Amino acid sequence: MRPDGRKNDEMRKIEAKVGVIEKADGSAMFKIGNTIAIAGVYGPKPVRPKHLEDPEKVLLKCYYDMYSFSVPERKRPGPDRRSIELSMVIKNALLPAIFVKEYPKSQIDVFVSIVQADAGTRCAAISAAAMALADAGIAMKDIVAAVAVGRVNNEIVVDLTKEEEDIEGTTDMPIAYMPRMKKFTLLQLDGKMPADDIKKALELAKTSCEKIYEIQKKALKDKYLKMRENENKD
């Protein structure tokens, strides 16, 4: 039995919504248990500074930020080594989903704020950012869904909490996956795991990402259904 009573293949409760930041070109909120990510997308727009411009493809910039009050012990505000690394990890997980050649000489900025953290923030950030990119109307091959899998107390489980991450011997594996393309875009491994367990964990990640994907698609559809309802009212 897991500390919060979940089954091994059971994710925490998920909520997803798009269009949460009015001034952004696209935005989304993704909540999984007590982890909440809010993503805002700005662009495509001209590249600044201009010398970073790529004549062939888009320049994707990602900024991951964990709020000071998102964790029990107040975190020092501002960027640190971890947030710089996670910004890169998130960018690399999103890029394969974007038709990058559709936007030459352009820049797309993705800002993700973690307003509450209980493990799995990079995955929540990716799931939120992918929805926000779709909401911004960016041409995409697929939506990226992400979740951590791992080994806790010798069991393969999905969506670890901070409490589970802190158990001695836990292995954590954040995964991002494009369900339609059937391609992984992120695979990290923090700890040790036998090859057979990695295979099992990847299968669990795939089926879990497929479930997240349905929730992401529903959130996107809901926004447009609501917009159409409002248009019909006018």
Interaction site with ligand ADP (CB under 6 A): 71, 73, 75, 82, 117-122, 162, 165, 174
If one counts every other C-beta atom within 10 angstroms of the C-beta of residue 69, the result is 12
Q: Strand, helix or coil at 163?
A: helix
Nearest alpha carbon to residue 135 among 59, 66, 42, 63: 42
Work out how close the CB of 66 gets to ligand ADP at its nearest, in angstroms, rounded to a whole number. Answer: 6
- Looking up tokens 């802190």 gives 166
Angstrom distance (rounded) from CA 190 to CA 172: 5
Q: Which is nearer to ligand ADP, 60 or 117 (CB)?
A: 117
The string of DSSP codes covering 131-160 is HHHHHTT--BS---EEEEEEEETTEEEES-
Work out how close the CB of 67 gets to ligand ADP at its nearest, in angstroms, rounded to a whole number. Answer: 11
Q: Which is nearer to ligand ADP, 65 or 118 (CB)?
A: 118
Angstrom distance (rounded) from CA 95 to CA 61: 10
DSSP 55: S
Q: Which is nearer to ligand ADP, 75 or 211 (CB)?
A: 75
Q: Which is nearer to ligand ADP, 170 or 200 (CB)?
A: 170
Work out how close the CB of 44 gets to ligand ADP at its nearest, in angstroms, rounded to a whole number. Answer: 28
Work out how close the CB of 131 gets to ligand ADP at its nearest, in angstroms, rounded to a whole number. Answer: 18
Nearest alpha carbon to residue 53 among 111, 119, 103: 103
At position 64, the amino acid (one-letter code) is: Y
Q: Which is nearer to ligand ADP, 89 or 131 (CB)?
A: 89
Work out how close the CB of 162 gets to ligand ADP at its nearest, in angstroms, rounded to a whole number. Answer: 4
Q: Which is nearer to ligand ADP, 25 or 65 (CB)?
A: 65
Phi, psi of 201 (to 5 degrees): -65, -40
Cα dihedral 199/200/204/205 (nearest 10) = -30
Q: Which is nearer to ligand ADP, 58 or 112 (CB)?
A: 112
Work out how close the CB of 93 gets to ligand ADP at its nearest, in angstroms, rounded to a whole number. Answer: 11
Instruction: Output the residue with the shortest Cβ distance to ligand ADP.
Output: 121
Here the tokens at position 151 are: 């080994």
Work out how close the CB of 195 gets to ligand ADP at its nearest, in angstroms, rounded to a whole number. Answer: 23
At position 63, the amino acid (one-letter code) is: Y
